A and B are shown apart, each in its own frame.
Chain A
Amino acid sequence: MGTINSAFSLISGALNADQAALSIVANNVANASTPGYAEETPNWQENQPVTINGVQYGAGVTETGATSLRDRVLEQRLDQQQQLASSSGARLTALNSIQALFTPDSGSASSTAGDIGSDITSFFSSFASLEANPTNNSLRENVLSSATTLAGDVSNAAASLNQQSAALDQQASGVTSQVNSLTTSLAQLNQQIQTASPNADAGPLEDQRQEDLSQLSQLIGINQITTENNGISVTTTSGQTLVSENTSFQMTSGTEAGVTHFFVGNTDITSQLASGGGELGGYLTARDQDIPSAMNSLDQLAYNISTKVNTLNNAGTDLEGVTGSVASPLNIFSQPTAVAGSAVSMSVAMTDPNQIAAAAAGAATGDNTNATAMANLAGQTIVNGQTPTDFFSNFASTLGATVSGVQDENTAQNASVTQLQTQNDALSSVNLNDEAGAMSTLQSSYQAASQVFTMLNTIMVSVLNLGVETTVS
C-alpha cells in the first residue's frame, strides 16, 4: 500500500530529475557553438516498482546523466573525406601557383612578355630573318637578343618553380609539430577515456578526441582502429602507428637530398604521407610530383634547344670566317652538361653577334645555308620527338589538364565533405529549437511536480490535524 510519505519521496525525486535534465539542456545551449561538442540528451530511468502485498506501485524516476548524440562511423567517414579534400585543396593551391607562370598569351603585345611559347618562335624566326641577309649586323643582334629573352624566361620560370618547391617544403615541415601535439593529446585522451568510461561513450572527453581526430585529418591521412576499453589507435593510411593506447609516436623531419623527409622512429614515411592525404599529402604530391614534372619538361626544352643550336652553330662559319672547334667553340647558349638543371642555368654565352655561324662550313660569309639549318630546327622533332613549339604546347595542355583535373576532384570532395558535415551536424550539433522544446516540456513537468508537492503538503496537513483546520498549517 502506497503512503503519502512515499508520494512525497517520489515527487521530490521527479523534481531532482527535472533539475538535472534542465542543467543538461542549459549545457547544450551554452555549448551550441563549441567546435566538436556533440549534443547531449538526458537519460531518464523509471525506478524499480515496489510490490506490497502483491500490488505493484511505481517508484518515480531517476535522471542518470547524459548521453552524447554521436555516430562514430559517420564521424570517421567525414574524417576520411576531409583527408582527401585537404590533400587536393593543398595540391590545387600549389598547382595554381605553378600554372600562373605559364599564363596563356592572348596574342596582344603585353601578354607576350614572359611567354616561353612566343620566345621559342621569335628565336627560330630570327634565324629565318637572317637567311634574307646573313651578314646584316642588326639581324644578327636580333638573334642574340631573342636568344637572351628565351633563356631568361626559361630560367626565370625554372627558378620560380624551385622557389615554390622550397616554400612547399617549408609548409610541409611545419605540419610535423602540429601532428605531434595532436597525437600526444590523443594518447592522453585515450588513457583518460579508458579509465573513466571503458564501456560507454565518454561524453566531453570523446568530444575532444573526435575533434583532435578531425584536426589530424586536415593535416595527414590516417586510419582509426577502435581498441578494447574504448581506446583508439591511429596509424597513417599505410599503417605506420602514430598513437597506440596511451602512447604516441612522434613524427620527426630531416633533410635528405635537399628536401624534407618525414620519419617515425627510423622509418622514412615521406612517400606514404604523399599518397596518404591531408594537407601534408597535398604539399608532398606537389613538391615531389607536380613541380619535378614541370621542371623536367622545362629542362628537356632548355637542354635540347641549347645543345642542338650550339651543335649547328659550331658546324658553320661565322662572319669572321671562323668555324667552331672543341678548343674554342662558337656556342650561342652556355652548353649544358646534363638535362637536369639545364632550365635554371639556361643563358646566352655569346656576346659578339659576328660569331653566329650563318654560313656553312668552308663557305664564304655571305652564305646562309647554316642560318637556314638553324631556322629549320623550329620544324624538326628535336625535343623528345616533338618540335620545340609542339613540345611546349603539349606541356601547357598537360599542365592545364592536371590543374583542371585536381580542381574538379577538389570540388567533388568538398561537396562530399559538406554533405557528410550536414549529416553529422543534423545528428550531433545543438539544435536550439529542440532545446527550446525540451526546455518548455521540462518547465511544464517541473511546474506539475511542484504543484503535486504543494497539494501533497495540504493533504498531509489535513491528515496531521485530523480534520481540524487550525492547529498545524
Chain B
Amino acid sequence: MRVDPSYVSNLVGSLDQAQSNEQQLTAELSSGVSVTSLSQNPVTAGENILLLNQIQQDDSFTQSSNLVTGSLQVADSTLGSVLSQLTQAISLATSANNGTMNASDVKAVGNQISGILDEVESLANTSYEGQYIFAGGQTSTSPFTTSNTTSPGITTYNGDQNVNYLSTPNGQKIQLNVPGSQIFQGSGANSVFGALNALVADYSTGAVNTTQAVSDAQSLDTALNYVSQQRVTIDNSITQVTAASDAITSDQTQLTAAQTNLMQADVGEVSTQLSLSETQQTALEDVISQLDSSSNSLFSKLQ
C-alpha cells in the first residue's frame, strides 16, 4: 500500500487549526463576550440587538420619568398651596359676611382677599425649568393676567387647552399636564378667579351686599372643591409614572440579565476548551518534533 509521504504537512495544518482555536478562546476569555463576530452565532447576534434596543428604551424612559416627575410634583405642591390660600379666603369671607364687622374691617378683608387673588395668580403662573406648567401648550407665556379696570376685575387665561402625554415603552399614555383654564376657570361656579374677583369687588366699598357676598363665598367653596378634583388628575399621573418607572426598572433588570446571559462567555467551559486545545497542540508538537528528529526514511539505514 502506498502512503502520502508528506503527512507531516497535514499535521502542521492541524497545528495551525489548534492555534487559531486557542486564539478565539483566549479572545473570548479576555473580553468576557462569547459572540465576537456575527458569524459565530448569527441568531444570538440578532437577538442581542433586539434586547439591547429594549434595554436602551427602558433606560431612556427612566430618565424621562425623572424629568416629568419633577414637573408633576411642582404642579401638585402648587395646587396644594392654592387650596390653602383658598381655604383662607373662604374663612375671611365667612367672617366678613356674618354682619359683625364695620366698614373698614370689611375693606381690610377685601384687601386680604385681593392679596390672596394675587398669590393664587402667581401660583397659577408657576414655572418649572422655565416652562409655565399651567399654560397648556403655550409654555413660554405667563398664562394668567388680571385686569382691575372693571369691577369686578377680570382674570384672563392666555394659554391653551393642550394636554401632553408621555408614552411608556409598553404603550401606556400618562397625562403630563392639566391646562390652567380647566383648573382655575371652570365653567359657572367652578371658576376660582371668577369667585375671587367677585369677592374682592364685594368688599371693596366696605358696604356689603350680604346675599351677593354669601353666594360668591359659596362659589369660591365650590371652586375650591373643583381645584381639588383637578389635583387628583396630577396625583394620578404621579402614581402612574412611579408605577411605570418601577415596572420598567424591573423589566430592565430582567432584560439585562437575559442579555448578559446571551452574550457572556461561560468562563468554565471556555477554560476547559482552551486547556483541551492546548493539550492537543502540545501533543501535535511532540509528534512533529519526533518525526523530525528521528530520520523517517530508509536512507538513513543504507550504507
> Is B45 part of the contact surface with A, judged by Cβ < 8 Å?
yes
Decide yes or no: A135 and B67 within 8 Å by CB, A106-B31, A397-B45 being known contacts.
Answer: no
- Residues B23-82 near A (CB distance < 8 A): 31-33, 35-50, 52-53, 55-57, 59-61, 63-65, 67-68, 71
CB-based contact A396/B46 at 8 Å? yes
Interface of A is mostly: helix
The one of B5, B32, B44, B71 that contacts A425, using a Cβ cutoff of 8 Å: B5
User: In the bound complex, what is the Cα–Cα distance between A429 and B55 (angstroms)?
Assistant: 61
The one of A132, A365, A397, A430 that contacts B137, using a Cβ cutoff of 8 Å: A365
- On chain A, the number of residues with a Cβ less than 8 Å from chain B's Cβ atoms is 70
Stretch at the interface among A96-104, A176-184, A297-305: A96-104
Decide yes or no: A422 and B10 within 8 Å by CB, A396-B38, A433-B297 being known contacts.
Answer: yes
CB-based contact A104/B162 at 8 Å? no
Which residues on B sit within 8 Å (CB–CB) of A376?
A: 167
CB-based contact A121/B52 at 8 Å? yes
CB-based contact A133/B50 at 8 Å? no
> Is A67 part of the contact surface with B, judged by Cβ < 8 Å?
no
Whose C-beta in chain A lies nearest to the C-beta of B61?
A128
Most buried by B among A364, A398, A422, A430: A364
A120 to chain B, nearest CB (A): 7
CB-based contact B36/A104 at 8 Å? yes
Which residues on A sit within 8 Å (CB–CB) of B302?
A: 436, 439-440
Which residues on B sit within 8 Å (CB–CB) of A129?
A: 60, 63-64, 67
- Residues A255-299 near B (CB distance < 8 A): none
CB-based contact A107/B55 at 8 Å? yes
Which residues on A sit within 8 Å (CB–CB) of B67?
A: 129, 132-133
- Residues A367-391 near B (CB distance < 8 A): 367-369, 372, 375-376, 378, 389-390
CB-based contact B140/A365 at 8 Å? yes
> Is A404 part of the contact surface with B, judged by Cβ < 8 Å?
yes
A153 to chain B, nearest CB (A): 14
Whose C-beta in chain B lies nearest to the C-beta of A106?
B33
CB-based contact A390/B50 at 8 Å? yes
CB-based contact A104/B137 at 8 Å? no
User: In the bound complex, what is the Cα–Cα distance between A393 and B47 (angstroms)?
Assistant: 7
> Is A122 part of the contact surface with B, judged by Cβ < 8 Å?
yes
User: In the bound complex, what is the Cα–Cα distance between A55 and B165 (angstroms)?
Assistant: 122
CB-based contact B136/A364 at 8 Å? yes
User: In the bound complex, what is the Cα–Cα distance between A422 and B4 (angstroms)?
Assistant: 6
CB-based contact B3/A426 at 8 Å? yes
Which residues on B sit within 8 Å (CB–CB) of A404?
A: 39-40, 42
> Is B269 part of the contact surface with A, judged by Cβ < 8 Å?
no
CB-based contact A133/B260 at 8 Å? no
> Is A418 part of the contact surface with B, judged by Cβ < 8 Å?
yes
CB-based contact A107/B164 at 8 Å? no
Q: Digitize A410-439: 1 where CB-to-B-CB distance is under 8 Å, 0 elsewhere.
A: 000000001001110111011111111101
CB-based contact B136/A366 at 8 Å? yes
> Is A203 part of the contact surface with B, judged by Cβ < 8 Å?
no
User: In the bound complex, what is the Cα–Cα distance between A359 and B55 (angstroms)?
Assistant: 27
Which residues on B sit within 8 Å (CB–CB) of A433?
A: 5, 297-298
CB-based contact A131/B164 at 8 Å? yes
User: In the bound complex, what is the Cα–Cα distance between A473 and B165 (angstroms)?
Assistant: 129
User: In the bound complex, what is the Cα–Cα distance between A108 and B171 (angstroms)?
Assistant: 27
Decide yes or no: A430 and B37 within 8 Å by CB, A125-B56, A128-B57, A389-B50 being known contacts.
Answer: no
Q: Digitize A75-111: 1 where CB-to-B-CB distance is under 8 Å, 0 elsewhere.
A: 0000000000000000000011001101111110001
Decide yes or no: A431 and B3 within 8 Å by CB, A400-B41, A440-B302 being known contacts.
Answer: yes
Which residues on A sit within 8 Å (CB–CB) of B270?
A: none
The one of B2, B5, B56, B298 that contacts A121, using a Cβ cutoff of 8 Å: B56
Which residues on B sit within 8 Å (CB–CB) of A111?
A: 33
The one of B32, B41, B60, B138 that contacts A125, using a Cβ cutoff of 8 Å: B60
CB-based contact A136/B129 at 8 Å? yes
Decide yes or no: A118 and B56 within 8 Å by CB, A363-B162, A364-B162 being known contacts.
Answer: yes
Decide yes or no: A407 and B39 within 8 Å by CB, A129-B63, A135-B131, A366-B137 being known contacts.
Answer: yes
B61 to chain A, nearest CB (A): 7
CB-based contact B40/A364 at 8 Å? no
The one of B31, B44, B164, B301 that contacts A367, using a Cβ cutoff of 8 Å: B164
Q: Digitize B1-26: 1 where CB-to-A-CB distance is under 8 Å, 0 elsewhere.
A: 01111110010010000000000000
> Is A66 part of the contact surface with B, judged by Cβ < 8 Å?
no
Which residues on B sit within 8 Å (CB–CB) of A440?
A: 298, 302
Most buried by A among B7, B38, B162, B299: B38
> Is B284 part of the contact surface with A, judged by Cβ < 8 Å?
no
B255 to chain A, nearest CB (A): 10
CB-based contact A399/B136 at 8 Å? no
- Residues B152-182 near A (CB distance < 8 A): 159-160, 162, 164-167, 176
CB-based contact A132/B162 at 8 Å? no
> Is A403 part of the contact surface with B, judged by Cβ < 8 Å?
yes
User: In the bound complex, what is the Cα–Cα distance between A440 and B6 (angstroms)?
Assistant: 22
> Is B112 part of the contact surface with A, judged by Cβ < 8 Å?
no
Which residues on B sit within 8 Å (CB–CB) of A435?
A: 299
User: In the bound complex, what is the Cα–Cα distance between A431 and B45 (angstroms)?
Assistant: 50
Which residues on B sit within 8 Å (CB–CB) of A50?
A: none
A372 to chain B, nearest CB (A): 6
Instruction: List 5 tightest A-B contacts by C-beta distance, closest first.
Output: A400-B42, A364-B137, A400-B38, A366-B139, A397-B46
Taking A104-B36, A106-B263 as given, write out 8 further A-B residue pairs in contact, using a Cβ cutoff of 8 Å, ordered by the A residue number.
A107-B52, A107-B256, A125-B56, A368-B176, A389-B53, A404-B39, A429-B6, A439-B299
A-B CB contact pairs (8 Å), 22 listed? A99-B39, A104-B35, A104-B37, A104-B45, A106-B33, A121-B52, A122-B56, A125-B56, A128-B60, A129-B64, A364-B136, A364-B162, A389-B53, A396-B38, A396-B46, A397-B42, A404-B39, A425-B6, A429-B4, A429-B5, A433-B298, A436-B297
